[in-house]
Structure 1
Amino acid sequence: MSAPTAVRPAPTPAPASSQRRPVRWVTPLASGASVLLAGACMVAVVQGTGWLAGAGAAVAVVVVLGIALQRLPGWAVLIGQLAGLLLVLGALFGGGIVPGPSTFAAFEDLLTEAGGQIDSGVAPVVATPGSLFLIAVAFGLIAVAVYAIAVSARAPAAAGVPLLCVVAVPAALSDQLLPWWAITCAVAGYGLLLVARDDLGRRGSGTLVAGGVTVVALAAVIGVLLGSAATVVGTAGRFTSGGGSGHGGGSIGLNPFTSLRGQLNESAPVELFRTTGLTRASYLRALTLSDYRANEGWTAPTPRPGVSLAGPLTQDASPGDRVEVRIENVGFRDYWLPLYGQPESVAGLDDGVWRYDRTGGIAYSQRPRSEDGWTETAVLPTPTAADLRSATGRTTVDPIYLNVDGVDRRVASIAADVTRGQRTSFDKAISLVEYFTGPQSAFRYSLQTAPGTGDDALVDFLTVGRTGYCEQFASAMAVMLRTQNVPARVAVGFTAGTDADGYRSVTTRDAHAWVEAWFPGYGWITFDPTPLNDGRTIVPPYVLEAVGDNGTGSPAPSPDQGDLRPGQEPAPVTPQDDAPQQDLPQQDTATDTGPDVPVLVPLLVVLVVALLGGPTILRTVQRRRRLGATAAGGPGAAEAAWEEVLATSRDRGSAIDPGDTVRGTARALVGAHDLPDRAQDSLRDLVRAVEAEWYGDEPAAPGALTSPTAEVLGALKATGPTGFRGLLGTLFPRSLSPRSSTVIERADA
C-alpha cells in the first residue's frame, strides 16, 4: 500500500502589506561589527585609539543605511551607502555635511598628508588628520563590501575576503607581530558573520550556529598559540618604497623615531647576543639615521650599493685598538647586522647575503635574517680630547649630515646659548653632553615622555618637558650639533651589556640610541647625551678627559628664558623613574623560522585556512548530521533527508521555491538537474516517505531511506558548475546563506 499522496493546500493570499519581506537586522549588524572587530589589528598601524571614532562613524552609517534601504535592489543600496559615507566623511573631515569644492579640496590635502606619512614613517604612525581620514575611508568602503557580500548577496562566508584585508594590511606594515587579542577579535568578527542569522528560530539553525562557534573558536585558539610562539626581536628597521629623501629615492623609517612624543612599554629582558674579544665596553651599532624631519622624526637614506662584508669595509680608519670580536646570536632577527666600532671585515656569514654601506656604517640585507653568529675585525677609536679639539680640515661627509631644513629657529638659539664661547666642534659636543647629563641638568630620563603643548615636539622637549628616553636625547643633541655646523647622526643599537661567565651578555634591556659626530681624520665619534643612572652608559675616555679639563664637570649654561614662548613658564621637572629597564620598544624572542620567511606567514596561513575552510567544515558537519538522522529512521528521518537534498541542490546552483509542494519541488529538481531515471525513482520514494511522515505520521524504518537518499545526492553532485565556479561553490556553499533555507513547511492536515 502506497503512502498517502496528499498535496499541500494552496495558501490563502495574504494582504499586500503582509507580503513585504521582513526587515533583516541581525546579519547587517553582524557585518558592521565584524569590520570593527577586525579593525582591532589597526593597533599595528596607528598609535592610540583616535582612529576608532571616524572608522566607527563610517561603518555605522553604512549599516544603518543598509537596513533602511534593504527592500530596494542591491545596486540602489550600494549607491545609498556610498552617498551616506561621503556625507559623514564631509562632516568629519571636510568642514561640512553638504559636499562641495572645498570638501574635496580638504580631502585631497588629507590624502597628500597621509601619503607623506606612508612614504616616510613606519607603523604605528602618529594619528594625524590625514591618517585618520584615510582609515575612515578604508573602513567605510570595507563595510560597504562586507554588507554587499554578506547581506545583499547572502553569502556571509565569502565576506571573509575583505575582512582578511583588514588583517593583512596591518600585518604587512607592522614590523611586530599583531597582538594575540587583535587576532582573536578578527577571527571572532568573521565567526560572527557565520553564525549571525535572522532565522534563528528555524529548525536546524541551532546546530549550525553551534558548529560555527566551534570552528571559529578552534581557529582563534590555533592562531593565538601560533602567534605567541612566532615572535621576534629586532630594531624594527625596514626598507620602504616610494619617494623620499636620501640616495636611492627611498627611505628607511624606524618605529621609535616617527615622533619625539611617545611612550615605551617595559618587558622582561631577553638575551640577544653573547660577545667575546672586546678589550673595553663599546656600543654595538645596528644602523644609523641621517635625515631629520621636524615633528616627524629620523629616517635614513636607503643604503647605497654596499661592499662585501669580507672587507675591507672602513677606508682610512682612525687610530685605535684593533680587536677581533666573536658575536653569538641568541635571539636577534633583523635587516641589520650589529657591528662594533669601525669594522674592517666580517667573517662567518653566507657570501652575497649581507652588504656594507660605508657612508652610513650599516651592514644590511634585503630580508630580515637570524644568523648563528659572526666574527668581526674592527678598530675601536682611541682619540684624546686634545686630538679631537685639534681635528680640523675640510668636511668630506655627505651634506645630509648637516641638514637642518625645517628645524625651529628656537632650537638653534638654544644650541647657540649652550655652546657659547666654545670654539671647536669637540667642545661644542661636550657642552651639549653636559647640558643633558651634567649634575645641574634640568633633564631627566624616563620611559614616559612629558606631554607636549606647542607646535614643535623638539622645542617642547627642550623647553617644557625635559623628560624622555634615549631617542629624545639623541635626537635633540644631533639636531643641535648640526645647527652649530657639526656633522651628526643618530645611531641605534645596544650598550655593552653585562659581564657573564667568559662573555658579555647583551639583552633587550640594553637597546639604546646615541649620537655620532664626525671629525676630520677620526671619522664618526660617539657621544651619549642620555642621563641614565643604571650603569649602562658608556663614557668614552675623551669625554671624561674633557669634563676633567673643565674642573668639576660643571654643567653647560641653560638657555635664556627668551627662548620660551611668550607667557610660558618652564614646566616643573618630572621625577625620574626609580628603575628604568629599557630604551627601545622590544618584542619577545623566538628561534628563526627559516631563512627569508617572515615569521607572520604561518599565522596568516591559519587565518586564511579558517576563512576559506570554515564554511566547508560547517557544511560537512551539517550534512553528516542530516544523513545520520536519515539512517537512524524514526520521526524526522524523512525530513532530514529532504533538507539535505534541497541543500545539495542549492549548493549546485539551483533555486528552489519554498512555497511549492513537496511533489512540485521534486519535479523542479528533476528539471533543474536533469536527473537520470534511477535517481528519479529514488526521489519518488523519498517524496512518499516525506508525505507519509508529515501527513500520515508514518516514520521511516531504520536504514530504509539510506539508499534512495544516497542515489539522489549522487545524481545532484554530478551536476552544477565546474572549474572556478565549482571551487567557489565548494568553499562557500550557498545553502549556508540564511535565505537559502528551502525546507517545505509541513501543512496542517
Structure 2
Amino acid sequence: MARPARAANPAPPRPQVITSSDRASVAIGLGVILAALPLKMLVMGWSYMWLTIPLVALLSMASLVVRRLRLGSLMTLIVQIILMTAFLLAVAQSLKTEGGIFSGWWGLYEQASEHIMSQASPMEPNAGVTLLFTTFMGVIAILTDVMVQTIQRPAWSLLPLAMVWVIPTFTLRNETPFWTVAAMFGGYLVILLADGVNVTAWWPRGVRRRDTDRTNGALALRSALIAVPALVLAMVGGMALPVLMNGEWTRDKPKGADGPLTMSDPSLDLRRNLNQPEDREVIRYSTEAEDGVYLRMTSLPAFDGTGWHSSGVQLRDMPLDPPPGVTSVDYDTINTQIQVTEFGSEYLPAPYAPQELQVDGEWKYDPDSLMVMATGDNRTEATRDLEYSVSSLDVQPDGQGLSQAQTGNPPDARYTVPIPEDLPPELFELSQQLTSDQPTPALKAAAIQSYLRSDEFTYSTEPQPGTGYDALQNFLFTDKKGYCEQFAGSMAVLARLAGIPSRVAVGFLPGEKQGDDHVVSIRDYHAWPELYFEGYGWVRFEPTPSVGVAPSWTVVGQGSEEGNGQGETPEPTQEGSPSPTPTPTPSEKPDAPLPGPVDPPESPAWVQTLVFIGLVVGVVAGLALFVSIPFLIRRRRRLHRLATTGDMDQRVEGAWAEVRDSVLDAGENWPTGSPRVIGKLVGERLDTQSARAMEVLSLIVERQRYARSNSVNADLAAIAQDVRRGLLHDQDLSTKFAANWWPRSLWLGLFGRKS
C-alpha cells in the first residue's frame, strides 16, 4: 500500500553508490600493493607479487563487503584472517613437495628460513620465500585496514607501509633505489587522498553548497600538493641525518664522488656464492708467487651479537699507504695480473697488501684495511669483465720472530679490540682452556687454529640452526659443523678473548693452477681471520679444514717444548706439519646413537584432502555460529517479550520495548515524548497498515499506564511484528541483514544507549 504524504519531512537521501568504506578499502589495497614493490630488492623476479596482488585484493574486497553489510570492524578482521589463512593454505598445498597439509605449510616457512640464511640478496626464487613474503604482505594489509578504518587514523598507515621498505633497506646495507621510496610513499599518498575525498564528501552533508565551494577532486588535489612536498622533504632530511652503525651515531660513511656510499654485506655474498648450484670460473690470474695468492676483498672488524660487520671505513684517493703495523721486516714485492669474468662486486680482489694498482674506473681505498672499493656509477658491478694489475707486498712472517711478538695497538683498535658485554661466558672459558698453557700471543693463536682444524670439526656448507651468539655456540659446542664463515669468525672471537686484536677477511682462495695461470671459481669464495701482532701488522691464519692450507708461520713444529719456562719458543715448520699443541680432550661419545622417535607413516592423499575439507567446513561452521550469536540473542529476547502468558502489564511493556528495539535495528532513533506522540512520529515513517498498528499499540500502552482499569484483547505479538515489518519493508538489503544478524539495539543496550 502507498504511504501517506509527508510534506513536512524531506525526501530520504538516495543510497550512495560508493561509500567512504568502499573508497578506503580500494585505496588500502592499492597502497599495500605499491608498498610491496621494495621487497624486490631481496629476491630475483616478481614471483611473490603474483600471489601478493590477489591476496591483498581478496582482503580489500572482504573489508568492502563486510563493512557494506554493517557487520562491524571485529567481523571484518575475523573474515580477513580466515580468508588469508585459507588462501595461504591453498597456496602452500600447491607449492609444497612433501608432508601433510599443515606440516607442508610449516615446512615451506622453514625452507624460507634456511634459504634466507644461505643466500645473499637478491636471492634466487624459492617457494618458501614466496609464501613468506605473501604472508607478510597479507598481515600488512590487515594492519593497514585496522589503522585506517577501525581506529580511523589514516595517517598511521605509514607505519606498516614503511615497515615493508625498512626491512630490505636496513638488511642489505647498500644503496636504496629511489623507485622503492617512491613506491612506499605512493601507496601512502593513495590512502591519504582517499581519506581526503571521504572527509570532504562527509563534511557538507545536509548543508547547501555555494557555487564557490570546492569539489572533492579539487580538495584532494590541494591535499596532494601539500603532502607530496612534505614527503619529499622528509626523504631528503632522512638522507642527511647520521646513520646508526654498530651502536654509534656516525657520519663516517664511505664517500664517493656523489656523496655517502652504503656498503653491501660480504657475509651474505659469501653464503650465496658457496651455495651456488653450479661452480663456475670467475677469476683468472697470473702471479710471481709460486703457490698463488689469496685475493682479499675486504675485512669485517666489528663484532657484536649479530656477527661480524664492516665499520669505520674512510675512503681515500690513491696511492695506497703501506700496510698498517709492519715495521719489523721487509717484504718482497710481487706482481699479479688479474682478469675477472662473471663476478660483479664493489670490492676489488687483490693480494694483501696492495701497493700499486693499474685499474680502470673510479676506485678508493680504506687505509686501515687496505680494502679497495668502487665509487663510480653501477659500482656493485664494477669488477665484472675487469682486467687490472696489482703490485703487492708478499706478507709472509717468519715463524720464529712471530712466535715471540706481542700484540700491538692497530689503527682500527676501536673496532678490532672490544669484546661485547653480553658475550656468553662459555666462550671465555673455551678461549682460556685453549690458550692458558701458551706463553705468547702467536702460540695462543696457533693453539686455537689447531683446535678448529682438528677432527672434532667438520666442514659443511649446509645452513646450520641459530643466529648470532646461538649460531656461534652451536658451532663450537654442539654440531661442530660449518663452513669458512663459522671457522673464521670463531677463531677471531676466541683470539680476541685471548687478548689479540682480530677481524675477519673475505675474498677468494688461490684457486687451481692451470698452466701459467691460476683459475678461481665461485666456490673459492672464502673467509679467514686476521690477527694483529706488533711489528708484523695483520697476519693471516687459516682455521678452516679441508679447504685452506694453514700458513707455515701458524703451525707449530714437532718436538718443540711449548711452555717449558726457559724462554725458548718453538720454530714453525712447513705447511701441513702436525702440531703437538695441546687441545682440549674431546668428551667421550656413546658407542651408538640412541634411537630417536619414529615418524608416523604419511597419510594417503585422499585422507589429507578429507581432513582439509573437514577443517574448512569446521571453520566455516564455527564462523557461522559466531555470526549467529547476536541473531539468536535478539530472537530469544523477542520471543520472551511477545509471550502470550504472564502479567498483562509486563506483556504490554514487552511489546512496546520490542517495537522500540525494532526502530533501533532499522537504523532509526527512538523519539522522545508520551506514547501517543511516539506512536505518531514512528507511524509517519510507515505504510498505512503498519502505521495503524503503531497507533493502536501506543494507545494500549497509554491506557495500560494511566487508566485505573483496562482490559486488553488485542494480539500484542501480531501488532509488534506488523510494526517491525513496516520498519524494514523498504530498507535496502544491507540494513535488513544488519537488523536481523547484527542488531543495533543489542549493541546500544550493552552501552546503555537505547533511550
Scaled to the shorter chain, the TM-score interval is 0.3 to 0.5
TM-score (norm 2): 0.46
The higher radius of gyration belongs to 2
TM-score, with normalisation over the residues of structure 1? 0.47
* Structure showing greater relative contact order (alpha-carbon pairs closer than 8 Å, 6 or more residues apart): 1
